[in-house]
Structures are given as structure tokens and as C-alpha cells.
Structure 1
Amino acid sequence: MPLQEQTSGWSDTAIKMLDGYSGTLQTGSVLHETDVTSNVLLLAYGGEGELAMDGEGCHIGASFACHAVKGSSYTLTARSEDIHYIVIKYKASSMEGASIVMPSYRKHPLRRAFVLNSAAHAEWIENAEKMVAKWRRGEGLERFYANALLQGMIYELIMAYERGQGGAESDMVDVVASYIASHYRQNLELKELAVLAGCSVRQLQRRFKQEKQLGPMEYVIQLRMESASRMLRHTDASIGEIADKLGYRDMYYFSRAFKKYVGVPPLHYRHAAASRTDADYAKALLQNRSASSYESAQGPVICHMQGEYIVTETSQRIAVLDVQYADHLLALGLSPVGSVGLGSSVLSFPQCLRAGLQHTELLGTYEYPDLPAVERLAPDLIICTEVHEQYLERLSGIAPVVMFKRNENWQTILSLFGELTGKRAEAKQIIADYLRRTALLSEELATVLASKSVALIRPLDSLIRVHSAAHRTGAVLYRDLGLPVPLFVADTSDTAYHISVERLPAVQASHYFLLSNELMQDGISATEQRVLGMLDTGEQQQVHSVDAATWIGCYGPVGINGIVDQVEQALLGGEVAL
């Protein structure tokens, strides 16, 4: 999510206190409220008891904080000694009066009930008591102060909630789903998952089905069958090997389970997938006319953002204005006659491509291409992105121009480069090799990363960008390699969102791939240095610094296979070299 959008969701949010009161719940007594008409903060201290929210109960200790949302119900029962409690009712709304807009990185705390057990700090209790006292005076300035205290308390509660301080506040479905994603190759039992969630088997099944539309064990089977389908399509592993990797006791039991889920036996599925590959490939290309191709009497026709380009003969002098396209050509055994590079004061090609570009002329940078150099080079084809549309008229006067979306899928672009250069078979083989490699590696990594998660972060000037699976590099990690996503980012549909450096611990990943700007900035920034100091704490948390320019810019087969190499080295064979 863009920083501006994410920030405005909070800065436009108004918190208004509606009521506040305190009391003492004597041993054996009950405090009960049904269908609350506003959000409620309930803080308590003293004895022990039980708290039930919307029918689900948990044991509470000597102090706790509870957040109940509008429409929910709660019951507090004192079991040993008196419990002193404070109730604060409030509402959150947009300053413009519209429905509240919340950041999309996860199910937002202001919209869900949660409990922070043993977390009602003395300062919170003191501020809550002060809040109630100010509110009860009924004076304008006093109530203004009460609202200010409330906003600070809500901030503290959310920070504690996101860092996972407590038990019942963690969403049981997210916790269990994440655990299953890392352990579905092992024998799992409902009782084991219920213990992990801190609830009964019945509660887990009901909550899980509400959110996932299937039960926990059905979810296990789904992940197993998705993994099996992937290996059947992209690897030559035997049925027995696949069954063993997925935790089935024998291949016959696995085959029956696969047929029941998919509709055909594994071997039939593999043969059918192989026979329809070409047809599916052609159909997929035609579904996106901005980057596709079709056959004509004159030759292959490349559909791009500025029209169509007929490949009547193979280009000999191709100039590219994005290094990812130089990557594609090198993967096919070719070199561009000219390419943009990276850097500010000193321009160069990325390290992973440098050896193959020894005879390629530098043409400025992606953002600022050297157009006179392109003219002097006299290429017979120019390949660029939508960013270069402002130069289209001048570029078209030099040579035919093919323009692709910069964030287009690399496999689609490589296939089109195969059409452009007469290397169609080579392009298909590179894609097949990549799919096979990542399918096998993902299985190996799954065992190593059981109960762990991997984050992809990039320090900026004063913030940190956390990438999701929707980001094209994140897709390599989370989709192609199946690395477990931290719960903190699992719900986002955005390619990335921004957090302050202070909130980085809330991500709670075991491994961090840190996209370093060191090579581009000739040194590590203060923010990056601070992040390294916060995270590099030992065996429980490992940081792998990687070059941001390569991981984000070289989005072609060479660069992406290099990313996979570095991930494999970091997670299976030691630290990554920058």
C-alpha cells in the first residue's frame, strides 16, 4: 500500500470517548454486557477469573485488557478475590464522517475483539482512572484531555496486540493456518491444532470454517494436493517420491486421496498437464494483448503497449532501456548492443549481468536514458517500458520500438523475447527448468522452515517497506519457493506497505531478506544500519543482506535464478554475500 494511503487511514481517524466508569466485582460475581452499542475497552486488576467474549472463554490473570467491538458480548466472572475494573466506551470514525478507512495490511485491531492477558500495566490503569475522572466532570476541556489519553492508550494496546504480547488476542485461525502451511507434510491432529490455538477442537473447527470455508484437516489436504499437483506438473519425481514428501504412508493411499480430491489419478493428471501446456500457454498470451503474440502469414506478431510488431527477420542490434531486458537476452545466449545501467555518480551494469555485457554500450539509466547515445548506436530494435513513453517519438525515429509494462510477468516477457529472437524453444526450456527447480527446492525448504517465517524488507529514508507475495520479487519467495509469510503481512493484497522502524519487531519473522541500497548509495544508510542493529540478535532471528538493485531491477531469468541461489544459500547453506 502506498505510504500516503496507509498514513491517511490513521491520520483521518477520529477517536471519541462516549462513556467511562469503574467498579469492583466481588468474588463469585459477574459483569455482563450483551450486544454493546460501541467499542469497549475493559481493563481489570486484582483477582483471577474467566472472561467470555461472544461465547468463547479464556482464563484471565491478575490483570488484563480487553477490546470488545460494537455488537459483541462479554461476561467477566471473578473467581478468586475481588476484581477492580474500568470500562471505557468509544467510537472510531473518519473525520469527514464517512465510514472508517483502515490500513489493509491485516484485519485491523479496531475492528476485532481481543484480550491482552496479564497486560494491564500500572500506567494504563492510572491513565484509565484519570480518563474516567476527567470524563465525569463533564467540562469541555476536561473531556478533550480524556480523549487525548484514550487515543494514546489505544495506540499502546494496538502495539502490544500486534507484537503478540498475550495469548487469546492472536487470531487462532491465522496462527493455525500458518502452522499448517509449515507442517502439512507431517501427521497433524485436530487436538494438536486446538492446543496451539488455545481453544477447544469444536471452537477451532467452527472459527476455521467461518474464515476459510473448510475445516483445518480439509485445509491440510488442500495444501498437500496443491503441492502434489505442482510437483506432478513441473518435476519428474515419481509418484512414490511425491507421496513420501507429503507424508503419506504409501503411494497407493496417496493416489486414492489425490483422485478423490482432483478427480483423476496422479499419473493421468501428469500426462494431461503435459499435453495441454502449449494450448494453455497460447491462451494465456492472448488474454493480455499488451504483452502477447500470435502467428501471421508474415511471421510472429508481438502485441505490446504501442501496437503490434511483426517479426519478419531476427534483429541483430537490440537496444534495451531496462536492465531486466538485458537479462532476458543473456538468458537466451544473446547480448544487447546497448543497455541502460545502474548507479548515480558511476554507472555500471549489475554484477550478475556484467560478464555477459562486456561488449554492450551503456545508455544511461532506466529513469534517465542517454538518447544521443542510443542514436549513435543505431540499433535495429528498441525495447523499453511505459516509463519511456515520453521519449517515444524520438525513439521511433531511430528504430522500431516495442514497449512492455515494466512489471509484466518475466515468463511472459521471456516467451516473447523467444519469438523476437527465434529462440522460442530455448525460452520454454528456461521456464520449465525454473519451475522444476523451484518446485523441488520449495519442498526442501519447507522442512527447514517449519514453524518459521521469512520477511522481505527494504529500509528507506525513515521507514521500512515490507513486501508481500503480490510484489514480483515477493512472488519468487512466497509463491515460487513457498516460503512462509509472516502473519503480520499475510492478509495484504498490496505489493508492499510501510512501517516505522520502531514497529519492525511486530513483523516477527525468523529470517529477514534485507534489500540493501549499499551499492547504489555507496554505503549503508542510517536507517539500514539501525535495522541491522535491531534484528541481528542471534540464532532466533537471522538477517540476510542482499543487493536491492539486483533483487528488484534484474527481473529476468538470470537475476531471478540468482535470487533463488541466494535464498538457497542463506536458508540451507550459510550466509548470503551482498
Structure 2
Amino acid sequence: MPLQEQTSLWSDTTVKMLDVHSGTLQPGSILSETELTSNLLLLAGGGEGELAMNGEVRHIGASFAAHVIQGSSFTLTASSGNMDYIVIMYKATSIEIVSLVLPSHRKHPLRTSFVQNAGPQAEWVQMAEKIAAKWSRGEGLERFHANALLQGMLYELIMEYERGQGGAESDMVDVVAAYIAGHYRQNLELKELAALAGCSVRQLQRRFKQEKQLGPMEYVIQLRMESASRMLRHTDAPIGEIADRMGYRDMYYFSRAFKKYHGVPPQFYRQTAASRASALSVYSLPQNRMASWYESSHGPVICHMRGQYNVTMSPRRIAVLDVQYADHLLALGMSPAGSVGAGNAAFHFPQYIRARLQDTELLGTYEYPNLPAVERLSPDLIICTEVHEPHYERLSRIAPVLMFKRNESWQTILSLFGELTGKRAEAKRILADYHRRTALLSEELAPVLAGKSVALIRPFESMVRVHTASHRTGAVLYRDLGLPAPLFVADPSDTAYHISVDRLPAVHASHYFLLSSEIMQEGMSATEQSVWGMLDTNERQHIYSVDAATWIGCYGPTGINGIIDQIAQALLA
């Protein structure tokens, strides 16, 4: 992402100066403020003392500058020499919203209290004196100028603070890493990446290695080799074609690079990958006692949230209390005896699998299952999620119950269902087909999306959710297909960021998949209409409205492949 887009989060931040005052502290004198109603800058010079701020006490030298945020308290005590000080109070509007879209591992500087003891404080004090003089002249152009000077001072302070924290340079690395992720198949040069970051080649190499534990060009190779290995595992594409897609014109050079990275030539890697993956799946599953299976002398054992289930015989009448499990069974060629549906006034099965559930009993909804109907169904197995914990005892009296986390990987659940129903080969085939399809589509989309990003958003009440790769549908876009995410959601520490509608342009995506509830609500919500109005003004943006109920709720093989269909149709049109 270009640096101007990285800094766009600041473009709508309005700084408004409120007041300024100055004075002198003699030795033993105190300047104190509690529970500030606004942010302030405190600059002082000429003496020494102590600054107590938010429970911490710091020795203050000949001059310093402190940034103190709203709600904080401080006490400045002069110990030797007269200490001249200036206090500037200000407010920064929209910070509450902006902070929500910054990477979660970083705290917005204007919401951080800090002290700078080293650097050009004398210049800062002189600038503060100029601001005070401008402000004292009353309303009009002079105060307008004072406010502009304050923004300049804040910029200098924050840059100095960020350099001390490594924050500005961390952002530099994030920008370059995001650019590499979208262009690693092309011929990249260090000087090009350094120009993007606005620094020297040497500085970029040093900072990138500190952040990523490898250099920028090594990072390019890593992404190429990971993508190539995925193609080798999941597709039958010729090695020459894979080499060309990864940016290598010479297949021999690609083979050498691949062997250096993975330790084996590409062809050998392809031949052994399938058996190695199979062996790993068998031996690693027993370590996870939640959603896994292992082979016992009596047959497969399914590990779930409430214990273990020994599969001595494949169940035939299965009741599922989440529609995603109906999807899994249908994909394996089975139909559940009963399943919950969706809807408010009238319950129904999702449209995309409704025709295949004609002989399936409707059991209420996911949130409100019809337990008497489950009892009348007399299933020989019930599959539910942790949401149904309050009903577990009653359900257990009807039939054995398997309970999984609702957000468990659909691929894990499909593998377990394959063991449960005696459809292991079918489950493996479905997964292999999916991995092959996403690997090929990822490579097909790469040149189309070079330098662009794709956002997954959902209007929700008065806010908009911007989903990350930690969200299970976001994982399909960003992990399975490798679509480039907007820079500020690159850190998947949570499943989504929440922002106001008017902050949506700060996402700066080229393509938006908008999770719409229009079908369920029988009309577009006011928030969704606002989102369309906000984004539709830019012709360079592409917006694709998709059904939220399907993209989020129907999380099985059929539904996921339907999502892939819609993504391909939208982005390759």
C-alpha cells in the first residue's frame, strides 16, 4: 500500500487548540492537574525537577516535552533552578473512530501519554512560546495560525516518540511487506522497495530483518516458495508452469531455489507431500481432544467438547442443530434425518441446499431448536455446538450427542464426519478438490489484484464490521485464496474491526464484499444504504453484495465452494 494511504488515517483527524498558559516554578513549587478534560502539551526548561504522571515519577532535566492525554493526572515539582513552563490544551476529534482501525498491536500516539527528554526540546519550547503569543492576540487569523503551528509541533513530537518506540519504522515494514505480498511473483528490486518506504536500502534491510527475522528479498523468496509448495501439493500443474507463475523464467533456477529452501527438488516434494500430510494428520490429531479423531482397536474415536464417541457403527438417523452440519452430510452423500433452519416468522432451510433436504425434518432454528421435535424424530445421533450447552442433558437422554465449537474449521469437521459415517475417502476427495481449486484460483487472481486489496465488510446497526483472516469467512479470502487484505486488518488479532460508516473510506480497499442481510430483513437497512452511498462515489471501487446468512451461517463444503464461485465471478469479471 502506498505511504499516502498508510497516513490517510491522520487526514481526517482534526486538532483544535483550546487554551494556553505559562508560568514559572521556583524550587519547591508544584504545578498539578487531575483528570484532564482534554489532551495537553507540557513544555518546560531552565531548571530540574520531577514529573509524576499516571503513577510514574520521572526526573526532569534542563528541558522536556510531555504529552498528557484526557483523563490523566500529573504533578510537576521544581527542585533546583527556576522552571519556565508552557501548557497547551487541545482536542483531537474522530480519534475514537480512527483508533479502531489502526493495527491492534499499536496504540494511537494521540491517545498515549509520553515524555521526551532528549532531542530538540529547546526548539519545541521556542515554538510553544510562538504559539502562546499568537493565541494571546485573540480570535481570527492569528489563532488559526496558532492551531496550525500546534499541529506541526504535534507532528514533530509524535515522530520523535515513534522513532523511540520503533513504531514509524514498524509501519514502514508493514507497508513494504504488504506490497511484497501482492507483487512477489514479479521482478522486485531492493531500491524499488526502499523508495516505497521512503528510506535507504540499508535502513530498509535493517528494519525489515528486525521485524520479520529475514531480509526483504528473503521474504520475497519465502512467499514464492510457500506458494509453489502449495501448487505442488494440491495441483497437477507442470513444474515449468509453476516456476513461471512464481516469477522464475528458468525452470532449472527455480528447482535450485526450491531445493535450497525446502531441502528437496520440486518433483520429489510433490511425490512425498501427500503421504507425509496423511501421516501427520493421523499422529497429530490425538493431541487435540476437542475436535479430532484417532484410531482405536474398536474403530475411530471422535473427540468433542463433551468427551469421546466410539464409532462402532455408522449412524443413519442424524439430527443436526446447526445447518452447517447438514451441509457436511450432504457433501458426503447423506441427508440428515432432521436439521434446524433459518428465518424469523417462518422457518426454512437455506436456499442453496433446500432442494436436497426435502426428506429432512425441520427442527426449529439454531438459536431456538425445537426439542420436542428432536424427541419425536428418535435420531441415533445428535450433533450440536457449544450454544446448545443448556440443552445437553435433555438431548443426551434422546441419543448420543457430539458437541463441537461452532467456529471450528469446516475442514476439520468434514474429516471427522468422514470417520463418523464411513466416508473417509469421500471427505479426503472433497478436501483435495478444494485445496486444488483454491490454489489454482489464487494464482489466477494474483495478477488481477496486484497492488489492490479486498475487504470483507458487514453493516451492523450504526457500525460496520471489517473482518480479518481470523474470521472463518475471512480465512477463505485471505488464507485459502491469498487475497490481499487492507493494510490495517493485516494483524488478525481479532475476527473484526468495528468502525463508523463515515470512516469506511479509510479502509482503502479496491474491492469490497458486502455481507448483506437484505434477504433476511426483506429490505436494505439504513446502515447498509449509507455504506453503499459512501463507497459508490468512487468509480475505482468495486462492491459486491453477498448474502450474509450464506457467507457466515452456512459454513460447510457446499456453502464454502459457493462462496469461492461468487469470489471468482466477481473478481475475474
Q: TM-score, normalised by structure 2?
A: 0.75
Confirm or deny that 1:272 pairs with 2:295: no
Counterpart in 2 of 1:179?
Answer: 179
Please show how residues 67-216 of structure 1 align to structure 2 within 5 Å. 105=104, 107-110=106-109, 132=132, 171-216=171-216
Q: Is the 8 A contact 2:452 2:484 kept in 1?
A: yes
Give the distance between the partners of 2:131 and 2:345, measured in 1 at CA: 56
Q: Is the 8 A contact 2:41 2:67 kept in 1?
A: no
Which SS does the other structure have where 1:289 is aligned? Answer: coil
**Alpha-carbon spacing, 1:487–1:298, altered in 2? closer, same or farther (3 Å):** same
Please show how residues 397-416 of structure 1 align to structure 2 within 5 Å. 397-416=397-416
Give the distance between the partners of 2:419 and 2:37, measured in 1 at CA: 56
Which amino acid in structure 2 is aligned with residue 327 of structure 1?
Answer: D
Which SS does the other structure have where 2:447 is aligned? Answer: helix
Which amino acid in structure 1 is aligned with residue 526 of structure 2?
Answer: A
Shift of 1:463: 0.6
Give the distance between the partners of 2:297 and 2:285, measured in 1 at CA: 19
Which SS does the other structure have where 1:362 is aligned? Answer: strand
Q: Is the 8 A contact 1:295 1:301 kept in 2?
A: yes
**Alpha-carbon spacing, 1:508–1:554, altered in 2? closer, same or farther (3 Å):** same
Give the distance between the partners of 2:485 and 2:444, measured in 1 at CA: 17
Unpaired stretches in structure 1, ≥5 consecutive residues: 1-11, 22-33, 42-85, 93-99, 114-127, 138-145, 159-167, 574-578
Give the distance between the partners of 1:305 and 1:256, measured in 2 at CA: 46
Which amino acid in structure 1 is aligned with residue 346 of structure 2?
Answer: V
Which SS does the other structure have where 1:171 is aligned? Answer: helix
Give the distance between the partners of 1:202 and 1:406, measured in 2 at CA: 48
Shift of 1:90: 9.8
Counterpart in 1 of 2:458?
Answer: 458
Counterpart in 2 of 1:559?
Answer: 559
Give the distance between the partners of 1:13 and 1:328, measured in 2 at CA: 57
Q: Is the 8 A contact 1:514 1:545 kept in 2?
A: yes
Confirm or deny that 1:17 pairs with 2:16: no
Counterpart in 2 of 1:235?
Answer: 235
Give the distance between the partners of 2:523 and 2:451, measured in 1 at CA: 34
Shift of 1:296: 2.5
Once the two structures are superposed, residues 177-222 of structure 1 have per-residue CA deviations (whole angstroms, 9 ceiling, x without a partner) of: 1111111111111122222222222222222222222221111111
Which SS does the other structure have where 1:403 is aligned? Answer: strand
Counterpart in 2 of 1:423?
Answer: 423
Confirm or deny that 1:390 pairs with 2:390: yes
Which SS does the other structure have where 1:193 is aligned? Answer: helix
Give the distance between the partners of 1:14 and 1:312, measured in 2 at CA: 68
Counterpart in 2 of 1:69?
Answer: none
**Alpha-carbon spacing, 1:37–1:302, altered in 2? closer, same or farther (3 Å):** farther
**Alpha-carbon spacing, 1:13–1:427, altered in 2? closer, same or farther (3 Å):** farther
Shift of 1:389: 1.0
Counterpart in 2 of 1:481?
Answer: 481
Counterpart in 1 of 2:337?
Answer: 337
Give the distance between the partners of 1:476 and 1:13, measured in 2 at CA: 46
Q: Is the 8 A contact 1:517 1:524 kept in 2?
A: yes
Q: Is the 8 A contact 1:106 1:490 kept in 2?
A: no
Once the two structures are superposed, residues 117-152 of structure 1 have per-residue CA deviations (whole angstroms, 9 ceiling, x without a partner) of: xxxxxxxxxxx9998479999xxxxxxxx99x999x
Give the distance between the partners of 2:36 and 2:450, measured in 1 at CA: 39
Shift of 1:538: 4.7
Which SS does the other structure have where 1:484 is aligned? Answer: coil
Confirm or deny that 1:354 pairs with 2:354: yes
Q: Which moved more, 1:562-571 or 1:301-310?
A: 301-310
Which SS does the other structure have where 2:40 is aligned? Answer: strand
Once the two structures are superposed, residues 447-498 of structure 1 have per-residue CA deviations (whole angstroms, 9 ceiling, x without a partner) of: 1000000011111001111110111111000000000010121124111121
Q: Is the 8 A contact 2:43 2:63 kept in 1?
A: no
Give the distance between the partners of 1:379 and 1:14, measured in 2 at CA: 63
Unpaired stretches in structure 2, ≥5 consecutive residues: 1-34, 45-60, 69-85, 93-98, 114-127, 138-145, 159-167
Which amino acid in structure 2 is aligned with residue 180 of structure 1?
Answer: I
Give the distance between the partners of 1:133 and 1:366, measured in 2 at CA: 66
**Alpha-carbon spacing, 1:189–1:35, altered in 2? closer, same or farther (3 Å):** farther
Give the distance between the partners of 1:154 and 1:318, measured in 2 at CA: 64
Which SS does the other structure have where 1:555 is aligned? Answer: coil
**Alpha-carbon spacing, 1:318–1:134, altered in 2? closer, same or farther (3 Å):** farther
Give the distance between the partners of 2:512 and 2:568, measured in 1 at CA: 14
Counterpart in 2 of 1:290?
Answer: 290
Which SS does the other structure have where 1:566 is aligned? Answer: helix
Q: TM-score, normalised by structure 1?
A: 0.74
Shift of 1:271: 2.0
Q: Is the 8 A contact 1:102 1:108 kept in 2?
A: no
Shift of 1:536: 1.7
Which amino acid in structure 2 is aligned with residue 17 of structure 1?
Answer: L
Shift of 1:339: 0.6
Counterpart in 2 of 1:323?
Answer: 323
**Alpha-carbon spacing, 1:36–1:379, altered in 2? closer, same or farther (3 Å):** farther
Q: Is the 8 A contact 1:19 1:90 kept in 2?
A: no
Which SS does the other structure have where 2:543 is aligned? Answer: strand
Which SS does the other structure have where 2:446 is aligned? Answer: helix
Which SS does the other structure have where 2:334 is aligned? Answer: coil
Counterpart in 2 of 1:78?
Answer: none
Give the distance between the partners of 2:411 and 2:281, measured in 1 at CA: 10
Which amino acid in structure 2 is aligned with residue 107 of structure 1?
Answer: R
**Alpha-carbon spacing, 1:537–1:36, altered in 2? closer, same or farther (3 Å):** farther
Which amino acid in structure 1 is aligned with residue 188 of structure 2?
Answer: L
Shift of 1:382: 0.6
Which SS does the other structure have where 2:452 is aligned? Answer: coil
Percent identity of equivalent pairs: 75
**Alpha-carbon spacing, 1:88–1:186, altered in 2? closer, same or farther (3 Å):** farther
Counterpart in 2 of 1:62?
Answer: none
Give the distance between the partners of 1:36 and 1:550, measured in 2 at CA: 61
Shift of 1:174: 1.9
Give the distance between the partners of 2:213 and 2:89, measured in 1 at CA: 33
Give the distance between the partners of 2:256 and 2:280, measured in 1 at CA: 27
Q: Is the 8 A contact 1:19 1:135 kept in 2?
A: no
Give the distance between the partners of 1:407 and 1:535, measured in 2 at CA: 30
**Alpha-carbon spacing, 1:176–1:495, altered in 2? closer, same or farther (3 Å):** same
Which amino acid in structure 2 is aligned with residue 294 of structure 1?
Answer: Y
Confirm or deny that 1:507 pairs with 2:530: no
Counterpart in 2 of 1:310?
Answer: 310
Q: Is the 8 A contact 2:102 2:488 kept in 1?
A: no
Once the two structures are superposed, residues 292-330 of structure 1 have per-residue CA deviations (whole angstroms, 9 ceiling, x without a partner) of: 112233322111111111222221111100011001001
Q: Is the 8 A contact 1:289 1:304 kept in 2?
A: yes
Give the distance between the partners of 1:35 and 1:541, measured in 2 at CA: 53
Counterpart in 2 of 1:80?
Answer: none
Give the distance between the partners of 2:537 and 2:91, measured in 1 at CA: 40
Q: Is the 8 A contact 1:20 1:89 kept in 2?
A: no
Q: Is the 8 A contact 1:20 1:131 kept in 2?
A: no
Once the two structures are superposed, residues 327-383 of structure 1 have per-residue CA deviations (whole angstroms, 9 ceiling, x without a partner) of: 100100111111111111121111221121122111111111011111111111110
